[in-house]
Structure 1
């Protein structure tokens, strides 16, 4: 099981990829203890430090857990929600960064992108290109949500409020990405935004064509100020969305690989058919 000398990835990433595939395909079952660091080093023909780096990567992804004095174990539920931010930041370590996002307002998108973009600005991350595609609802059209809680009536003032929030988030992302190109910190930077006439009930991130984060928006009742008056609304709430992670493995027939493939296909189908370009 020695590593491929022609693989351009660092050895620790190759080891992490092999272990990740074994975990996601249930070669290592949930709750099972992984071989020791010494054993893994011998299996892959690497130093123990390399194995430790690989395990740290898998721990950050939520796939394994270290138990002091006992070893490293596969999490009982490998499909548990994991943190998006470290995965996104690692994507910016690559030469070409690609991110497709589908969601409601883009507020959380702007939040998770700020740190890696700041690190590009100060030179800690050095991608060659950044490409973003953002798919959002068309707030010019009547929407199922948000709506007045009383009678579920559509009101233009609600859509105008949501449009302001959306515009602020997307402009922040667009300006931050384009600034990196204007400063000469990346060779190419592009942000494309398209809208479609539907209320999103989930958010989706596709990172570098190989990782997917997906989560459902809960529908909540809350109070908002419209035209100076406080009103009760039913709305989707992105901050309460739990994201689940899927990534490509060496086995294209694995559940995780198929999920990534289908998520990419869904995004592409909406992007190229029923959506239209929006200028921010």
Structure 2
């Protein structure tokens, strides 16, 4: 069964009321066994459901039903653009198959990037090829230390809990990225030690940028919307940033140095370098644990994070 078929099965079960809003779905392993498909197929189906807003996902945790209603059978399909995770996945697959991965990323929390990369690394470990000559990632994310900023609670912009929630999401993405890099060493799929460098800026960027192997750029823009987010059994209405559904537009270096796309790639690289030089280091190393999560005075929003993270 293809991911599309798995998605349709799950939508039918959601529509039938098998799970209620706020309830966790079975694990990917359990769903794979029930539907007799691979976990990779289940993950792809869940990614689409998350992009459709039917579930919330978070690395290392089960998907949670949002309460949004699936599209009615027979209803005309809504025009849909391919989300960031799918587009990134295709481009990262090509980059990995080249035998070298060097990616510069500017985004809000890195959830789209880490989700796409993890799926591709599953495929790389299954194939056991190619062996990578380089695995290097430079990541700039938001630390949400500037206020006021987004997301924020409607009517209470001083409530910092939405920012604390996204800090945790960013922290989890870096943890997942670190684990993925270490797995390449375990499977002996990289010639040199993987390098992951992370820096932060105090405010969320309005666009997301990916520079792949110095010769390709993907760029998209965050949309600011008003919506309810189901957290910890409660709905909190936010002015929020959406990123998983963001459309990405690719540009690749051409043979002519003065070609518009070539100039675009060079300009994007210079733009990233300028922010990288001024961003604050976020202490991540493959040889030591990540820094502890900062403590805050106000009680956290302790439920599962909404899938439409800003990245």
Q: CA RMSD in A?
A: 2.1
- Confirm or deny that 1:132 pairs with 2:137: yes
**Which runs of structure 2 are paired with 1:230-249 in the superposition (5 Å)?**
230-249=235-254
- CA deviations over 1:227-255 (Å, ceiling 9, x no partner): 76432111110022110000100111111
1:168 pairs with 164, 172, 195, which one?
172
Shift of 1:135: 0.5
- Hey, what does 1:256 align to over in structure 2? 261
Task: Check conservation: 1:180, 1:186, Cα contact below 8 A.
Answer: yes
1:117 to 113, 121, 137: 121
Counterpart in the other structure of 1:85: 89
Paired residues of 1:216 and 1:242 also in contact (CA < 8 A) = yes
Q: 2:87 and 2:183 mapped to 1: Cα distance?
A: 27
Q: Residue 179 in 1 paired to residue 183 in 2? A: yes
Output the CA distance in 1 between the equivalents of 2:99 and 2:135.
9
Q: Given the two structures, how large is their TM-score scaled by the length of structure 1?
A: 0.66
Distance 1:225 1:160, change over 3 A: farther
Q: Give distance in 2, aligned partners of 1:143 and 1:256.
A: 36
Alpha-carbon distance between aligned partners in 2 of 1:229 and 1:115, rounded to the nearest angstrom: 31
- Structure 2 residue runs without a partner (length 5+): 1-83, 285-289, 291-311
Deviation at 1:100, TM superposition (A): 0.8
Matches within 5 A, 1:170-249: 170-188=174-192, 189-225=194-230, 229-249=234-254
Q: 1:107 aligns with which of 105, 111, 117?
A: 111
Say whether the 8 Å CA contact 1:150–1:232 is kept in structure 2. no
- Is 1:145 paired with 2:181? no
Relative to 1, partners in 2 of residues 1:274 and 1:87: Cα closer, same or farther, differing over 3 Å?
closer
Matched, 1:159 2:178: no
Structure 1 residue 185, shift from structure 2 partner: 2.0
Flag the 1:148–1:109 CA change in 2: closer, same or farther, 3 A. same
- Rounded to whole Å, the distance in 1 between the matches of 2:116 and 2:188 is 23
Structure with max Cα Rg: 1
Pair 1:274-2:274 in alignment: no
Aligned positions, number: 199
Please say if residues 218 and 240 of structure 1, whose CA atoms lie closer than 8 Å, have aligned partners that are also in contact.
Answer: no
